Amino acid sequence: MPRSPLLMGVVNVTPDSFSDGGRWLEPEAAVRHGRELLAAGADILDIGGESTRPGATRPLVGEELGRVIPVISALAAEGAVVSVDTMRAEVAEAAVGAGATIVNDVSGGLADPGILDVVAASGATYVAMHWRAHADHMRDFAVYDGPGGVVAAVRDELAVRVDAILAAGVAPAKIVLDPGLGFAKRPEHNWELLRHLDVLQGLGRPLLVGASRKSFLGSLLASGGAARPVGEREHANTALTVHLAQQGVWGLRVHDVRAASDALQVVARLSEPTTEE
């Protein structure tokens, strides 16, 4: 039976991403890492040239283009399904031209509304994440005091983004939503969203979830007042992978593709019909 959800392997072509900043900054290293993720079971490679960790500053457009386009071109030419992780219309347009078929926009079109026109014209799949502000000050917007708390707020704000995306001419079947774990959200907000993904699925769009190695897992596993280091959160993320697969999400954005793939194979095997010997 086909494995579900899809695995989107992370290729950070950045010097400052929270998990592996700098390891894949050189194009040759990033391409090599992309090939390794495909061999480990990735369905999609998500290539990004801008860190969105809390407090990060933005690169110049030219810097972002120089980081991602050579990597996208090389991997797409080898047959990989490539997603570009960008908030900029100019980068999205160049990435699609280089072979990307998915635009993963953490701002959902708020940072650069022109990105919606690029997506509509290209026919690419568009991932719209829940977002309120850029990384350097998004923590100031982690307030969800209205009725229904964070779940209702994220649902309603994503619904507004869906209307804008459709109005730009993006095909309904090409829209994927992301709850934006960790973006203008405190740990308790992330857990609440994960408990109520069915509410977001009620919007009628596939869901991509990116929880891999994020700080709310580090906080959960804290010892002696110190969060668990980034590289030591994978067991928790594997447990979450199983949960998310059981919730029927469309995709998971992960760093350790092998661990996630192994977990999904177990879930798939357990869901097969029982046969009598």
Closest CA to 210 of 238, 178, 184, 186: 178
The residues with which 45 forms a beta bridge, in sequence order, are: 9, 82
Q: Which of 132, 214, 228, 233 is catalytic?
A: 214
- Enclosing H/E stretch for 129: strand 125-129
Closest CA to 152 of 203, 206, 214: 203
> Max alpha carbon distance in the chain (Å)?
63
Active site residue 214: yes
Active site residue 185: no
Which residue is listed with tokens 């953490």? 106
Which two tokens mark 156? 């309603």
Positions marked catalytic? 214, 253
